[in-house]
Structure 1
């Protein structure tokens, strides 16, 4: 934990938790949804986050935050194809900045004045060049070495998760167990240690999940605040297990981002939705929530920088007051957890990384102890056991986003594909076992499970329910369902060589999780 260095210490502990996740995007489209989404998030969020954590670590600061890395994101940050694509994307960003700097005028977005456009382009060209240089040197071996350095140095705590980010309460128990144990093993191979904590996909919970967590060696996981009826001041063991649930404190988290308000909507910050369509850059500031894109004012970095300081001070004050009030309420030092998607900081909110670095410096100066979720466990910020209800962090805090009428077809698709995958893999492995020798690795069975897991990714029903690239989401679910059926069908028909060719073909697009081994599927 960090020791307060400034004002009188307040009781308790503050933990910042970031959840890093995107679906598997490599080889599945570029624009407007597909690999572009990966590269934008990588450039705007992942690069600056790692850079700021390394800076703070070099200053001797540790136990700064708890970072959830889903296996599917980790796979993309290490994948040679994605690394090459990211390098090209950064170079293209630099060229687009140069183009903006050379233009003499543009319609809309407040850039009728050529000098404003040139200044904007110069800044973009410079920032892209810095990102490109950082990527070429620091990221040349992928993301895992960088994160391992931060984990080993106790700068951060790592949270793991199941392969491909499935909505666990709706998943067949056998595949659910397989996805979790393989996901934790994947983290162990990349980072040199198996994480004790996980970010449960979508913070989704159903009674009994804690038993599977305990069996897999999971010691703690995240839920949303309402799952604990808003009483998030301490971690709570779930049921009769020793597995601890930590709840997101919505009063603190919503100061930053909420369905209706939050810092990123401030008029001074860069507007996410307004593009200069000739370069693909974002030259405008929010200006006002009701202001149409064509009337947005030009982005002004100095104005945004002043707003960051105001929001850093507001957040620190909010945390300080919340720790004090919660400690008084429960009669002992309290624990406050603020949790967000990592992609908020930079991708959705351009100024987010700067805000984050300043907050991590300002909290101890304000007398606030900062630590990870593991620090909270080790220092006794744990209360009495609790029985959790079914829940998630989606709309309504229930399962409707992933199981409602609008995605009933995907729920049915998932069930059918999983049943097909399990039955086919069981048969294939049984046939091998009947020979009387140790069961060999079966690349066909592996690929069937890989495609089934990609089919049941929680991203697809989320995108449909929220109507964000819903067509792409349905397409992706059905592509992976088709791959599962096609390979399984050939294998079931006794056409082993054809099934092997199909599996190899699909693996060229969906070759993530290379250590996935169908032989470890629970029987």
Structure 2
């Protein structure tokens, strides 16, 4: 603590993808992130736990992702995907038999990685994510944080729907893991003044904002407004060393290139080589060169953290706190070498005199200062709401606002639970996922995103029509069919809205 404290915060999230297409997004997206990020990172955390380490990092898992990682259909499909990965590596070995020695070695390495993933899945994950995650939470290896059910952009929600989505998400985590999170990763770090009161009412004690919301003053957690709820800000000076809009470690020439595929096998055989190098001219991936680069970048990051903490200690006259926060999927899925880099940093920071802890640990250590009034903000482009409330998605915003009005007008309190009303709420929450607007604004599978928002809105409208007409039998029949495809959060009770 003499030097200061550091927290990694990882945000694990994908929208509901089950039964909604396969390639190139859809379920393929889930399977790739599961194989290349979730399996290796959980394995790393398990090994840290076996070594007796605690408060290694703060791990956010959104309820909608947890629902998929526990879902029997998703588990079965992922198992098949892992087998297919191994077969594709075997295919590549035959194709690359006379190719560059690095390519032949890559095919063998892919086959071994797939075999290891299959063994890990069959020995530890067959009953889902929750039984794997719970010991890490129970033993204090990690701090688990949660969030609203389907990851909606909260500032655009009616306060009643916002509160319901958060309660539903927290209850879901409690059911799966036996722990109600005290902290949340607010979806997209979206905030509007006054939201801390809703957090306090739901039992949330801390949440994340982006550094600019605190004008870069992220050295300590801050209580928000007149509440006791604490916000922590991402230290962008440190965070962007890894992943910035313009530069960062994953773009190094030695690392595996995410965007270049060998289409017959679906494998990624190339290294980045250079930013202006066309795919056909990229060099084969060299694991030894990549491993050397991982070590170099880990040492650089540790040096950056140490220098930042020394600067903050000199500025404030006491040890401070640095938060580096990222999407979990960066580590392994987007950045192949990410898990190895993360482990090297987590092992190297304590050796450099840095106290590694969680947001909970930082709070308990008193690394919190006086109150702050936060502005409306997010971690998106411009650090405002433009990604989710901009011109490109004006139609989605308008449709979402109309859906919310209709939802509140249709759901009726009563003593008898209605499966039709439960599914109505479920379809509404799926339609309001923040992912659809993000994908449209960023032009990333925008057609898929618009389709998903439209499908859930259309289903919602049909259920609302049947409920409004009093056709209970048809409404229940439709709800039963829809739940076969979109049935997360079985505990969801529309009467609580």
Q: Same fold, TM exceeding 0.5?
A: yes
Q: Residue 99 of structure 1: which of 86, 91, 97 is its match?
A: 91
1:199 partnered with 2:185? yes
**Residue 136 of structure 1 corresponds to which residue in structure 2?**
122
Q: Residue 436 of structure 2: which of 456, 460, 464 is its match?
A: 460
Q: Provide the secondary structure at the position in 2 that maps to 1:340.
A: strand
Shift of 1:114: 5.1
In the aligned structure 1, how far is the partner of 2:434 from the partner of 2:59? Answer: 20
Q: Is the 8 A contact 1:233 1:336 kept in 2?
A: yes
Q: Which runs of 4+ in 1 moved over 6 A?
A: none
Give the alignment's Cα RMSD to 1 decimal: 1.0
In the aligned structure 1, how far is the partner of 2:406 from the partner of 2:122? Answer: 43
Q: Is the 8 A contact 1:103 1:117 kept in 2?
A: no
Shift of 1:25: 0.2
1:12 partnered with 2:15? no
Shift of 1:154: 0.5
Deviations 1:89-128 (A, max 9, x none): 00000000000011146xxxxxx82544322211111110
**Residue 487 of structure 2 corresponds to which residue in structure 1?**
511
**Residue 159 of structure 1 corresponds to which residue in structure 2?**
145
Shift of 1:505: 1.0
Q: Residue 245 of structure 2: which of 248, 259, 265 is its match?
A: 259
**Residue 462 of structure 2 corresponds to which residue in structure 1?**
486
In the aligned structure 1, how far is the partner of 2:248 from the partner of 2:110? Answer: 26
**Residue 108 of structure 1 corresponds to which residue in structure 2?**
none
1:37 partnered with 2:29? yes
**Residue 471 of structure 1 corresponds to which residue in structure 2?**
447
Q: Is the 8 A contact 1:240 1:385 kept in 2?
A: yes
| Number of residues of Structure 1 aligned to a counterpart in Structure 2 | 497
**Residue 301 of structure 2 corresponds to which residue in structure 1?**
315
Shift of 1:519: 1.6
Shift of 1:45: 0.1
**Residue 225 of structure 1 corresponds to which residue in structure 2?**
211
1:238 partnered with 2:224? yes
Q: Which runs of 5+ in 2 are unaligned?
A: none
In the aligned structure 1, how far is the partner of 2:2 from the partner of 2:330? Answer: 28
In the aligned structure 2, how far is the partner of 1:475 from the partner of 1:223? Answer: 30
Q: Is the 8 A contact 1:70 1:161 kept in 2?
A: yes
Q: Provide the secondary structure at the position in 2 that maps to 1:92.
A: helix
Q: Which runs of 5+ in 1 are unaligned?
A: 1-8, 106-111, 434-438
Deviations 1:226-259 (A, max 9, x none): 0000000000000000000000000000001011
**Residue 50 of structure 1 corresponds to which residue in structure 2?**
42
Q: Provide the secondary structure at the position in 2 that maps to 1:302.
A: helix
In the aligned structure 2, how far is the partner of 1:209 from the partner of 1:510? Answer: 29
Deviations 1:391-443 (A, max 9, x none): 000000000000001100000110111211221112xx3xxx4xxxxx12211
In the aligned structure 1, how far is the partner of 2:80 from the partner of 2:403? Answer: 36
Q: Is the 8 A contact 1:103 1:114 kept in 2?
A: no
Q: Is the 8 A contact 2:69 2:75 kept in 1?
A: yes
In the aligned structure 2, how far is the partner of 1:168 from the partner of 1:182? Answer: 14
**Residue 59 of structure 1 corresponds to which residue in structure 2?**
51
Deviations 1:248-280 (A, max 9, x none): 000000001011110000000000000000011
In the aligned structure 2, how far is the partner of 1:327 from the partner of 1:510? Answer: 50
**Residue 290 of structure 2 corresponds to which residue in structure 1?**
304
In the aligned structure 1, how far is the partner of 2:90 from the partner of 2:121? Answer: 19
Alignment of 1:241-390 (within 5 A): 241-390=227-376
TM-score normalized with structure 2 length = 0.99
In the aligned structure 2, how far is the partner of 1:69 from the partner of 1:119? Answer: 35
In the aligned structure 2, how far is the partner of 1:104 from the partner of 1:388? Answer: 56
